Structure 1
Amino acid sequence: MMSNRFTDTLFQLIQSLEKAEKRNFKLYIKRSSGNEDLKIIELFDALDKLTEYDETVLLKKLPSIKKPQLSNIKVHLYKQLLSSLRLLKSTGSIDLQLNEQLDYARILYNKGLYVQSLKILEKLKEVAKTHYKFNFLTQVISWEKKIEALHITRSMQNRGEQLSMEAVEVNNRVDNVARMSNLALRLYSWYIKNGHARNEKDEKDVKNFLSDNLPPGAHFQTGFYERLYLYQSYCWYAFIRQDFLMYYRYAQKWVDIFNEQPLMIKVETGYYIKGMHNLLNAHFDLRNYQGFENVLKAFEAFSTTELAMHHDNHRIQTFVYISASKINQHFMLGTFSEGLKIVKGIEEKLQEYSLYIDNHRLLVFNYKIANLYFGAAKYGISIDYLQKIINGNVEMRNDLQCYARLLHLMAHYELGNFDIIESLIKSVYRFMAKMENLTVVEEAMFKFLRNSFKLSRQKLKPELEKFLQSIKGLEKNRFQTRSFAYLDIISWVESKVYQKPLSTIIENKYLQQKKRIYISG
C-alpha cells in the first residue's frame, strides 16, 4: 500500500523538491516579495523539516502563525512555489514556452499594440506546427481572429478567409487526435482492469470495441500524434489478445516515429519512455533475447541523458521500466539467484519514490520479486511477497490477483505443506472461477495438484509426464498463453520431471535457442 504520510498537497509538493528547486524558490521570494512573505518562508522551512505531515506539530514549530491563519498562508505558499517552478522549468518545456509567449501576446494586445501581438502569434503558430501542438494552435488562431475582428490591422488581405480555413483544418486535426487518444486510453484502461483476454467473449468484446471506436481513415493519417495514438491503440489491442507478434510490430512502430522525428522525444518524453517499455515487453514475450538486450542497453543509455534526468516524472518512469525489464531478463535467462541481488536496490528506490509510485506498479513489482524468489527456490520469502498482493486491493488487476494466488499455492506445494494444500486448492479454484480466470491450463494444474500429494514417488513421475504433455499441447493456444505469460508452468513441471532446478531448465532453453540462432546465422 502507498504511504499515508504524503496526504497534504503542499507537503507533497515540498517533499518532491530537489535542492536546486528549494534554493531557487528562496531566491524567487527574495526578489519578488516583501516582508509580508516572511511567514511563507517560515512555513516552507518547517514543512521541509517534517518527516510526515502533522498539523499539531507544525503549529508548535510556528509560533508566529495562528491556526486560523494557516490555511490561507498554505494556499499562498503553494501558489508561490508553482510560480517559482514555472520560471525554473520553462526552458525545458515547449508547452511552458508556448504559453509564456501567448501571455506576452495578450499583454501587448491589452496595451493596444495589436501588430506586435500579431507578430508574436505568427511566430507562435510556426513553433506550434513544428511540434504538432494543435490544441495550442486553436488558442493562437482564436486570438488572431479576435484581433482581426475587432481592429483594422491591415496586416494582410483576405486575412479573415485564411484564418477561417486554418481554424477548420486545425479543429479537424484536434478532433482526430482526441478520438485516437481516447481510444488508446480506453483500451489501456481495459487492460489495467481485466488483464489479458480470458476467452472468446473477451476477444470478441475487445475486437468490437476497437472497430466501433476506430475513426474512419485512421490508418491513412500522417500526423505525428494521430500515428502515435494509432500505434498505442494497436499495442494495447494486441497485448490484450496476446498476439505478441502484432504487439511487437506496433511497439516498434511506436518507437520508430520518435526515431524518425528526434525533436519529438524532447516534446513527448513520457510517451517515448512508455514506447521503449512496451518494446522491451514485446521482446520479452517473444523471447527475442538479443533484441531485448539491445533495446535495454539503448534505454539504459537514454536514462542517463539530461533529457531523461530533467524531470522527476521521466527519471522515475525510466527507473520503474528499466528495473522491471532487468527482472524480466533474469526470468528469460533463468538467473533467479543473480536477480535477487538487485531486489534491495529496487526496493530502496521504490521507497524513495513512494510519493509517486501508484499501487498498480507496486503490485507488479511484488509479483515479479515473488517470482524471482520462487525461481531461486526461496519459497517462504516468495509467499511473503505474494501475501502483499493477496491481502491488497482485489479490484486492481484481476489477473495478477489470480496468478499471485496460484503461485502462492505452488510455493506451499514446494514446501511440502500438504496439510493446507487441499483447502488452498479449493480457495484458489473458487477465486479464479469467480473472476472467470480459469483456463484449461489452470484446470489441469488444479487436477494434478489435487491428486499428486496422495501419490508415492514412483507413481508421481508418470503423472508429472502426463501433465507435462497435456499442457505442452496448449502452449500455442492463444487463450492459454496467458497462463504461461504469468507463470512458466511448463518449465516448472519440466523441473519436476527431469529433477533439475527451475533455473537450470530455463537457462538450458536460452542456451539452446542461442545455439540455434548461431547455427542458422
Structure 2
Amino acid sequence: MANYKDIFSLVQSLGKGERRNLHILANQWGRQPLHLQVLEELYRMESLDMDRLRQKFTSDDRVIQRSIRKILEVILQTRSIFEPGPRETIAREIADIRFLLEKGASGLALDQIDKSLAGCQQRELFEEQSQLLLIKRRLTGNIRQADEEIGKIDILHRNLISYLSLRERIKADLEDNRTGKNILCIRSILADELLLHAKSAISVKAEFQRLSIRFRIHNYLREYESMIQDLEQLRTLLQANAEILDETGSELLEHSFILANVYIHRMQGDRARALMHSIEQMELFAADLIARRFENYSLTQLGFACDFGDASAGNAVLNLIDRNFNRYANSISPLMQRLLLFMSAKYLFYRGDFEQADQYICKIMAMAAVDQFKEFVPFAKAIQLLCAYEIGSFDEIENKTRSLQRILASHDTQQVIPARILQMVKDCMRQVKNARPRILNDFFQGKDSIAASEFHYFDFDLYLEAKLSTTDMLSLAEKRVNTQAIHGRPAQLG
C-alpha cells in the first residue's frame, strides 16, 4: 500500500503544467481508459480513499490497483515525446528517478532504479549502471554491497574497452597486408587476447567481439576451417543472447557473406548454397538486408550465380536489385552502385541476355564520376564488345574494338580481364568479318573447355571487407590474387 500512497502523493504534487500535459495525452487517446478516470478522481481526494474508488468504478481491488500503478507510467510518459535510443532511454529514466525523489516518492524511485538497472545490464551500459547504483546507495544506505557491484561493473567496462581497442589494432594490421610480416604479430595478439579472456570475466558483447576478432584473423591467414568454427560460435552466442542482436547482428551478416565468398572462390558450391540459405533464414536478415547489407548480399549471390551457373539464384537477385536499386541508391556508395550494375551485366552476359547486359554497361558508363570505376572499365568494355558481336551490331563492333584496344594497351590485361574473357575478345577481333562464334551456348549446362587454373578474377572479399566507400582503388589493385577458381564458367569458343 506504501507505493499507492506514493503515487497519490505524486499526483497531488503535480503542477498545472504537468497536469495539462496529462490531459493532452489523454485527449489524444479519445475515450479515456479507466486509469485516467481514476487519476481524475485522485485529483479531487484529500487523502487516498480506496473505498471511494471501489464504489465509483469497480469492486475488484486488483483492477483498482492496476489502474493506480498505470498512472505512474502515464505521468512518466508525459516527460518524453520522442522515441529515444537505449542510452537516451536510460538517461531519461535517471531523470525520472530524480524527479520522483524531488517529489518525495522514494519507494517509487527505488522500484524505478531496479527496473533501470535491469535495462542497463541487458544493454551493457556500464556508466549509467554505476550512476544508478550510486543513487541506490544513497537511498538505501547499503554502501558495501553497492561498492562491490560498482567494482564488478568497472571490471566489465575496462574489459570491453580493452577488447574494442584490441579490435581496432587488429583491423589496422589486417588493412596493412601487403607483406607477410604481420602474421607473427597477429598471432601474438590473438594469443594475448585469448589469455586475457581466460583470466577475466567478460560480458556477452565482449565475447562476441572476441569471436569476431578471431574470425577476421583466420580470414586474413586463410584458415578457412577455423573461420567456419568461429562463425558457428558467433551464431550460437546470438541465439542464446537475443538482447544483443540489434547491435551485433549486422556484423554477423558481414562475416557470413565473407565466408560465403570464400566458398564461392574455392568452388565449393554446395557449402556456399547452404550458407546463403542459412543467412536468409536468420531472424534479422529481412530487416537488416535492405538497411545495411543489400549490396553485400546481392554481390555474393551474383558471384555465386556466375561461378556455378545457378540461374534461380541469379534471377532472384536481379529481381531484388531491380526493385530496390533506385530506392536505396543514396545509401549505397557510388563504387558499390557500379559494382552491382557491373555484376548484373556480367551475369546477364553469361546467361546470354546480351542486349540487357549491354544496357547495364551503358548505364554504368553514363553515371557521373566513372573514374571511380576505372579498375573495371576494361572488363566492362570487353563484355560490351562481345555483346555487340553476339547481337550482330557490326556497325558498333569496329568502334568498340578500337576503344578496347586503346584500353588494353594501357593496362595489364591479365590483371584487369579474366583470361577466358580476354580469349573471347581476341577471338572476336580475329573473326569480325566471319560468322559469329558460339560463345556461351553451353554455359548453364556446365560444359568447360578451358582449365580452371588458367583464370584470374577480382577478389571481391577484399572489397566487401574493406567497405568500398572508403577504400583506395589503387591500393586494392595491389591486393588482387590468382587462384584456381573460375569467376564465371566458360563455354566453348567457335
> Is TM more than 0.5 here?
yes
Q: Does 1:472 align with 2:454?
A: yes
Partners of 1:395 and 1:143 in 2: CA distance:
54
Structure 1 residue 365, shift from structure 2 partner:
1.9
Q: Which runs of 5+ in 2 are unaligned?
A: 1-23, 30-79, 390-396, 438-448, 462-477
Asked if structure 2 preserves the Cα contact closer than 8 Å seen for 1:337 and 1:376, the reply is: no
State whether residues 305 and 311 of structure 2, in contact with CA within 8 Å, keep that contact through their aligned partners in structure 1.
yes
Residue 239 of structure 2 is aligned with which of 245, 251, 259?
259
Paired with 1:232 and 1:427, the residues of 2 have a C-alpha distance of 41
In the other structure, the counterpart of 2:193 is 217
Q: Distance in 2 between matches of 1:94 and 1:163?
A: 21
Gaps of 5+ in 1: 1-26, 33-82, 191-196, 462-466, 500-521
Residue correspondences, number: 377
Q: Please state if 1:290 is matched with 2:270.
A: yes
Matching of residue 144 in structure 1 with residue 133 in structure 2 = yes
State the alpha-carbon separation in 2 of the partners of residues 217 and 292 from structure 1.
30
Measured after TM superposition, the shift of residue 259 of structure 1 is 3.1
Select the residue among 162, 181, 189 that pairs with 1:176.
162
**Structure 1 residue 209 displacement after superposition:** 8.3
Matches within 5 A, 1:160-171: 161-163=147-149, 165-171=151-157
Q: Are the aligned partners of 1:184 and 1:229 in contact in 2 as well (CA < 8 Å)?
A: no
The answer to whether the 8 Å contact 1:403/1:487 transfers is no
Counterpart position of 1:76: none
Q: Aligned with 1:204: secondary structure? A: coil
Q: What is the CA-CA distance between 1:394 and the residue it aligns to?
A: 6.2
Q: Deviations over 1:106-129 (max 9, x none)?
A: 433454656754554344334433
- CA separation of 1:256/1:337 partners in 2, compared to 1, >3 Å: closer, same or farther? closer
Paired residues of 1:284 and 1:292 also in contact (CA < 8 A): yes
Structure 2 residue 384 is the aligned partner of structure 1 residue 408: no
Deviation larger for 446-455 or 408-417:
446-455
1:51-90, CA deviations, whole angstroms, 9 ceiling, x for partnerless residues?
A: xxxxxxxxxxxxxxxxxxxxxxxxxxxxxxxx7561xxx7
Q: Which amino acid aligns with 1:365?
A: L
Partner residue, 1:232:
212
**Letter aligned with residue 166 of structure 1:** K
Instruction: Indicate which of 374, 385, 388 corresponds to 2:349.
Output: 374
Indicate how the Cα distance of structure 1 residues 410 and 164 shifts in structure 2: closer, same or farther if over 3 A, else same. Answer: same
Q: 1:121 — aligned with what?
A: 113
Q: Write out per-residue CA displacement over residues 132-176 of structure 1, whole angstroms, 9 at most, x where no aligned residue.
A: x33x1212203433665xx5x453142464255235313312312
Structure 1 residues 345, 127: closer, same or farther in 2, change over 3 A?
closer
Partner amino acid for 2:236?
A: D
AA of the residue aligned to 1:105? I
Decide whether aligned partners of structure 1 residues 95 and 360 sit closer, same or farther in structure 2, where only a CA change above 3 A counts: farther
Q: Distance in 2 between matches of 1:125 and 1:242?
A: 43
How many Å separate the matches in 2 of 1:496 and 1:98?
Answer: 65
Distance in 1 (alpha carbons) for counterparts of 2:226 and 2:92: 42
Q: Is the 8 A contact 1:145 1:163 kept in 2?
A: no
Indicate the residue corresponding to 2:473 in structure 1: none
Structure 1 residues 260 and 377: CA distance shift in structure 2, 3 A: same
Give me the whole-angstrom Cα distance separating, in 2, the residues matched to 1:116 and 1:162: 24
2:487 maps to 488
Question: 2:361·2:384 contact (CA, 8 Å) conserved in 1?
Answer: no
C-alpha distance in structure 2 between counterparts of 1:328 and 1:219, whole Å: 39
163 and 419 in structure 1: CA distance in 2 versus 1, 3 angstrom threshold? same
CA distance in 1, matches of 2:163, 2:133: 23
- Please name the residue that 2:178 is paired with: 202
What is the alpha-carbon distance in structure 2 between the residues aligned to residue 251 and residue 285 of structure 1? 18
CA offset at residue 409 of structure 1?
1.9
Rounded Cα–Cα distance in structure 1 between residues aligned with 2:179 and 2:322: 36
User: Could you tell which deviates more after superposition, 235-244 or 101-110?
Assistant: 235-244
Shift of 1:282: 3.9
Aligned-partner Cα distance in 1 for 2:407–2:347: 24
| In the alignment, structure 1 residue 339 sits paired with structure 2 residue 314 | yes
Shift in alpha-carbon separation, 1:248–1:308, aligned structure 2, 3 A: closer
Q: Which has the larger radius of gyration?
A: 2
Task: Output the CA distance in 1 between the equivalents of 2:91 and 2:279.
Answer: 31
Among 126, 132, 141, the alignment partner of 1:155 is 141
Q: 2: distance between equivalents of 1:157 and 1:322?
A: 53
Aligned to 1:217, the other structure's residue is in SS state: helix
Q: Distance in 2 between matches of 1:183 and 1:257?
A: 24
Q: Is the 8 A contact 2:231 2:255 kept in 1?
A: yes
CA gap of 1:453–1:318, structure 2 versus 1, over 3 A, is closer
Contact 1:331 1:372 in 2 (8 A): yes
Q: One-letter code of the match for 2:157?
A: N
After superposition, what is the alpha-carbon deviation per residue over 1:291-340, rounded to whole angstroms, capped at 9, x for unaligned? 3333333433446xxx666x6x5654465555555434432431449834
* Offset of residue 405 of structure 1: 3.0
Partner residue in 1 for 2:70: none
1:330 correspondence with 2:305? yes
Q: Does the aligned pair in 2 maintain the 1:374–1:382 contact within 8 Å?
A: yes
Q: What are the residue-to-residue correspondences of 1:427-446 with 2, within 5 Å?
A: 427-428=407-408, 430=410
Supply the distance in 1 between the matched residues of 2:423 and 2:350 (Cα, whole angstroms): 20
Aligned Cα root-mean-square deviation (Å)? 5.0
